[in-house]
Amino acid sequence: MAFHPRHPSNSSSLITLYDTNVQHRYSAQSWAPNIWRIRFILNYKRLPYTTVWVEFADVETTLRSIGAPPSVVKGDGRPVYSLPVLVDPTKTPYAPVILSNANNIAEYLESAYPSPAVFPAGSRALQSLFAHYIQEVFAKPLLPIMVPISHQQLSDRNQRHLRNHPSSLSAAYTSQGDYLINPLPPGPQREQAWLAVKEQFDFIDAIMAKNNGDGDGIVVMGRDVSYADFVLCSVLLWIVRIAPPDWARVRNWNGGRWERLWERCKPYMQEH
């Protein structure tokens, strides 16, 4: 299904997605995996929307100013503000829905705009479990490789902010330790890190191959793309946009599965 955006007559009624970007040549690009989950859903459902770009250094101030809830509240009661945030004024313009946390936003969009579905009937629990695995297990070996590269492509102002407030990166991934600013140098240590990444890709490949008999063997739910595919493809997109030379290796793993998944999700990669 190709994406053809609907064009409302009044742009003030648009859904707004709050995102962050990096500068590539002459254009800014969205790259954060958790935010791309939502962008995929908006595009798949053909919902008109606009983007407000927010620098990491301005996230908390910006989100507080629009009345966005924190994405999480720590055990000591401290709120944490992170992206994505979605504002939807389409049903109640004077009291728009304002949501944070990618999972909450995904659930809302499916309930408010059920067709086409990203959670086919009876799949929400299993897809949510899959999404949790991708974020908390599958993506973890990528962090020592990808976090420093991502950090280096941000503005000097944002790099200074993140050195002082590393928890701000929770919009895209969970950062831990010194690898936030200390990239792995080329050589055996970096290659060993990629071996750990490949173990996770091999595992997911074996799981998704179980659909070969009664599906196309490419997407999680068998034949149609769903939220689980968007969660997984968001990680691929992070690699493509932040570390293109490393995508050259990943795209050929597991018989080219990941390039095929990329192509299935590609129609929903527009940015507004």
Pull the structure tokens for residue 125.
């629990």
Residue 93: the pLDDT is 86
Tell me whether strands 79-80 and 72-73 are parallel, antiparallel or unpaired. Answer: antiparallel
Calculate what percentage of the chain has a pLDDT beyond 70.
86
Q: In sequence order, which residues have a C-beta less than 8 Å from that of residue 83 and are 6 or more positions away?
A: 18, 19, 20, 32, 34, 35, 54, 59, 171, 172
Q: What are phi and psi of 127, to 5 degrees?
A: -65, -40
**Burial (CB count within 10 angstroms: exposed 0-12, middle 13-18, buried 19+), residue 259:** middle
**Burial (CB count within 10 angstroms: exposed 0-12, middle 13-18, buried 19+), residue 146:** buried
Asked if residue 2 has pLDDT above 60, the reply is: no
Q: Would you tell me how many other CB atoms lie within 10 Å of the CB of residue 255? A: 11
Q: Would you tell me how many other CB atoms lie within 10 Å of the CB of residue 48? A: 15
Pull the structure tokens for residue 33.
């995996």
Evaluate whether 169 touches 175 at the Cβ level (below 8 Å): yes
Who wins on pLDDT, 197 or 148? 197
Residue 180: the pLDDT is 54
Evaluate whether 16 touches 99 at the Cβ level (below 8 Å): no
* Most distant CA atoms of the chain, gap in Å: 57
Asked if residue 155 has pLDDT above 50, the reply is: yes
Give the pLDDT confidence of 176-201 residue by residue, as tens digits: 444 455 667 678 888 999 999 999 99
Tell me whether strands 27-30 and 49-53 are parallel, antiparallel or unpaired. Answer: unpaired
Mean pLDDT of 79-87: 93
Phi-psi region of 59 (alpha: psi -120 to 50; beta: other; left: phi over 0): alpha
Average confidence score pLDDT of the chain? 87
